[in-house]
Amino acid sequence: MINIQLSERQEKIIDIVKNDQPITGETIAKHLKLTRATIRPDLAILTMSGILDARPKVGYFYTGKTALSFVSESIRKIKVSEIKSVPVAIDEETSIYDAIVTLFLEDVSTIFVTSNGYLTGVVSRKDFLKNAIGGMDLNKIPVGVIMTRMPNIVTITPDESVLNAAIKLIDHEVDSIPVVEEIKVDEEKKEYKIIGRLSKTNITRLFVELGESN
């Protein structure tokens, strides 16, 4: 098993969090006299490895755990295409009831929604629960009514790094994001074809595989 190679800056971040937890990313950046964007990759690595825990609207905590066995530099080189999984997608005219059935049969937390084969929205367990409690007729209303629509959806391309994927998952506080291929319809319009799914589970599985292979 190999040990994670933390950079000097990452070690400093851990010390800052230990001393001042809970602490926001902005405050950590101020301690280091850097911008939040500069340290975002470091926070992503430390969070996804389990060294730090990030809680929305609270900040970062030191977990006390030892680092998972992966080399941070390797994570920067691995592409999304190498670890993406098969996407679960439905047409936006599908009823909410049928969408819920699909969600449980596929055992996922998020379903991607399409129209004419292109990504138009995303719907999550929380969306289904909220509308089920609201007393809607789930058999008659299409999932397109309750989904989050483009362009308010975070996406990733297969050529982006796993590190970028981890950053997007953390920054947008989502469990999975669609891997897309950009299709140019005309000079002004672009559509997105779903070719995969990238989730926290994909990234966690990658860390385990890297550890077990050494």
Residue 1 pLDDT: 38
Query: Per-residue pLDDT for the chain (214 aa), expressed as one digit of tens each?
Result: 344 567 889 989 999 999 999 999 999 999 999 999 899 888 988 887 778 888 888 899 998 765 544 455 567 778 999 999 999 999 999 999 999 999 999 999 899 999 999 999 999 988 888 887 777 788 999 999 999 998 899 999 999 998 889 889 888 888 899 999 998 877 778 899 999 999 988 888 887 776 555 4
Residue 210 pLDDT: 66
Q: Which CATH code, of 3.30.420.40, 3.10.580.10, 3.30.365.10, 3.10.450.50, is assigned to 80-212?
A: 3.10.580.10
Residue 38's nearest CA partner among 62, 7, 59 is 7
Phi, psi of 176 (to 5 degrees): -155, 160
Residue 143's nearest CA partner among 114, 117, 175, 118 is 114
Orientation of helix 162-172 relative to helix 36-48, angle to 10°: 100
Residue 55 pLDDT: 87
3-state SS, 72-135, equals HHHHHHCEHHHHCECCCEEECCCEHHHHHHHHHHHCCCEEEEEECCEEEEEEEHHHHHHHHHCC
Angle 173-177-107 from CA coordinates, rounded to 5°: 95
Residue corresponding to tokens 């589970």: 201
Considering the domain delimited by 8-77, tell me its CATH architecture. Answer: Orthogonal Bundle (1.10)
Residue 44 pLDDT: 85
What is the maximum span of the chain, computed from C-alpha positions, in angstroms? 57
| Token output for 81 | 């295409």
Instruction: Classify burial at 55, counting beta carbons within 10 Å of its beta carbon; exposed 0-12, middle 13-18, buried 19 or more.
Output: exposed
Angle 118-205-110 from CA coordinates, rounded to 5°: 35
Residue 189 pLDDT: 82
Residue 2 pLDDT: 41
What residues does each domain of the chain span? 8-77, 80-212
pTM to 2 decimals?
0.67
Residue 81 pLDDT: 94
In this structure, what DSSP letter does residue 145 have?
Answer: G
